[in-house]
Amino acid sequence: MAGAAHCSLQAKRLLLDPKFEGYKLSLEPLACYQLGLDAAVAEVQLRDDQYTLDHMRAFGMYNYLHLDSWYQDNVYYVDQFGRVMNLSVTLDTALQKPREVFRLPTDLTACDNRLCASMHFSSSTWVTLSDGTGRLYLIKSGKRGSSASEKWEIVFNEELGSPFIVAHSVSFIKSDAHSLTVLLLRVEKDELDTKGSGFHVTLEWVTITERKEGDHRYEINKRRVLQGKSVPHYAAIEPSGDGLMIVSHKPFTFMQSESDKLEENDDAKVSNEKKDPLYYWQQTEDDVTITVHLPQDITKDDIKIRFSPDNICVTLKDQTPLMEGNLYSSVDHESCTWIIREDKSLEISLIKKNEGCRWPELIIGDTRGELIMDPSQCSEIAESLMHLTSEVMNPNPEKENPPCNAQELEECDAFLEDGASLCRFDGDTLKVTHIINLGSNQYLFSVVVNPKEMPCFCLRHDVDALLWQPHSDQPENMWEHIATFNALGYVQASKQDKKFMACAPDYSYAALCECLRRVFIYRQPTPLATVLYNRKEGRQVGQVAKQLVATLEANDPILGFQATSERLFVLTTKTLFLIKVNSGN
């Protein structure tokens, strides 16, 4: 991760409600409609050799219902006959049966190690589809969901190795050529992993481009593979196709091709030749001293040094700057000096503006220097950290401020994945450019608010759930806090049987469903039509947030769950349920 910018997520205070009082259970009836399916959903059970947590997350908890965000209230699923079935809703009281829009050409039952069929809507007219056997289809669909004459046409159909599911895809035009880029997710056996689960996870990033011959045929342009040790919670390609964002518990790295390895070996040889530090630096509480060894022919007139409050630039003989960049902290630039010592070395003195502040690095991101510390500084640092370590666990729990009070945590607050991170990969260099350590900000779900943008992801922040919209084209505002679901982080933690979570694209409600029957809906606070008093505090309550519960008339497990601004779609093996949450305008 060297060279990556370490960022943080900035919550908007205006979107937080510290006075939120909780959800009130509402008994208002929810209109629920159900459609019997002509054929069962093509569910694929986990095999005996798919026994890890990653297999369960990727395939066992797969959402078999696909929402087409480009068109309103439009959902798809694949049935056991390999038919892609569509339901487009305009009026709940006049529901049509799901209709077939496409049929997979292959016999799904013929493949022993197949996964579930998967699809993603790359644009308003393009669909990427996998049959679960390792074959990828690019389909030109035209306008979807509204007319019975809708025809899906295959423009690319190729075997891409072992079975995978489509995680994400985008359609874009670059250099007058149309391309689709797709992320394929696999969980593969890892013979080298003897201590872990024995599997690793790969994300293959495939770019398919229209041929220049003008025959409207498409061919693979690039194939790149990332590998990690956990199934990503979130993996999405930027709309321009130039980068990739991944939220995962364990890091992903690009696997190199042989030519890349040779280039890197050459770079490593060069770097080994230059392993001596470019400069050495020392610090006290008040100042920083930098020492640079100069070439023999350099005189005082050849040296140009520019000091500014947050920046330094050192140039020799009008060449490329020897040292340049932002300092770790501000300096009093008018008091900074430099001299040439007798041993032909350049000594630069910087006066710290914030006295007592210890700098972990001199120039941000510059690893060419070496910090020299005297023994007294080392012992001082060790002493300052002494209170954080002990021979025994929680040595004095009775004292006023114990190191840890486990009683403040509830059982439902505990979750395993403390090490999750959000990384942005560059498509050209294949390196991480931005990284955010999510720490205790537990990943909850993702949702498409605007199909032309990347999917949003929802994270737990304290008790709340905050929704973040990535903006790959805005480096200063790459992750924007766009909505808050009050106390949802805490509420969902207590739902032990939850399977899927979702929210409306207009943020009007969030919802979660259990493995069987029950659906919980959490509305945003709305103003009250009547006067309501808080008896404890003797004050009037202006608005209230409602929780609603729907129980489905089904004994089959829930296989799919999607939310739109007006309704929830819930898919079981043989039935598709529609729950009317909001009335249309």
Domain boundaries, the chain: 44-256+418-436, 279-367
Q: Assign domain 279-367 to its CATH architecture.
A: Sandwich (2.60)
DSSP secondary structure code for residue 170 in this structure: E
pTM of this structure: 0.74
Per-residue pLDDT of the chain (585 residues; tens, 9 = 90+): 556 788 899 999 999 998 888 899 999 889 999 999 999 999 999 999 999 999 999 999 999 999 999 998 899 999 999 999 999 998 877 788 899 999 998 776 677 789 999 999 999 999 999 999 999 999 999 888 766 567 899 999 999 999 999 999 999 998 888 999 999 999 999 888 777 888 999 999 999 999 877 677 899 999 999 999 999 999 999 999 999 999 999 999 998 764 455 555 555 555 455 467 888 999 888 899 999 888 888 888 888 899 999 899 999 887 888 888 888 888 998 999 999 888 888 899 999 988 877 888 888 888 888 888 877 777 777 776 666 665 555 555 555 555 555 455 555 554 444 578 999 999 999 999 999 999 889 999 999 999 999 999 999 999 999 999 999 988 888 999 999 999 999 999 999 899 999 999 999 999 999 999 999 999 999 876 666 666 666 665 667 899 999 999 989 999 999 999 999 999 999 999 999 999 865
For residues 557 and 400, what is the distance between their CA atoms, to the nearest angstrom? 50
| pLDDT tens-place string over residues 113-155 | 899 999 999 999 999 999 999 999 999 998 887 665 678 999 9
The pLDDT assigned to 192 comes to 82
Give dist(CA 43, CA 108) in Å, integer: 11
Q: What is the pLDDT of residue 499?
A: 95
pLDDT of residue 302: 87
Burial readout 438-471 (b: 16 or more C-beta within 10 A, e: otherwise): beebbbbbbbbbebebbbbbbbbbeebbbbbbbe
Residues 179 and 169: their CA atoms lie apart, in Å, by 11
* Residue 159: C-alpha distances to residues 133, 194, 224, 251, 445 (Å): 8, 30, 16, 28, 31
With beta carbons less than 8 A apart as the criterion, state whether 312 and 333 touch: no
| Measured distance CA(221)–CA(477) in Å, rounded | 31
What are φ and ψ of residue 41, in 5° steps?
Answer: -65, 145
Task: Put the strands of the sheet holding 118-121 in their side by side order.
Answer: 118-121, 126-130, 135-140, 153-159
Q: Two tokens at 37?
A: 């399916």
The residues, ordered by sequence, that sit 6+ positions from 414 with a Cβ below 8 Å of its Cβ are: none
Sign for the CA dihedral angle at 384, 389, 395, 396 comes to positive
Query: Is there a contact between 152 and 84 (Cβ–Cβ < 8 Å)?
Result: yes
Check residue 275 and give its pLDDT.
Answer: 64
d(CA 446, CA 456): 5
On whether the CB atoms of residues 163 and 115 are closer than 8 A, the answer is yes
* CA gap 478, 433 in Å, rounded: 12
Cβ contacts of 430-435, under 8 Å, gap ≥ 24: 430/224, 430/254, 431/3, 431/4, 431/254, 432/1, 432/3, 432/4, 433/4, 433/5, 433/243, 434/4, 434/5, 434/7, 434/478, 435/1, 435/4, 435/5, 435/6, 435/7
Phi, psi values for residue 14, rounded to 5°: -65, -20
State the pLDDT at residue 94.
Answer: 79
Half-sphere exposure in the Cβ direction for 165 (13 Å, CA): 20
- What is the three-class DSSP state of 449? coil
Q: What distance in Å separates the CA atoms of residue 153 and residue 126, rounded to the nearest whole number?
A: 10
- Quick check: 454 and 247 in contact, CB under 8 A? no
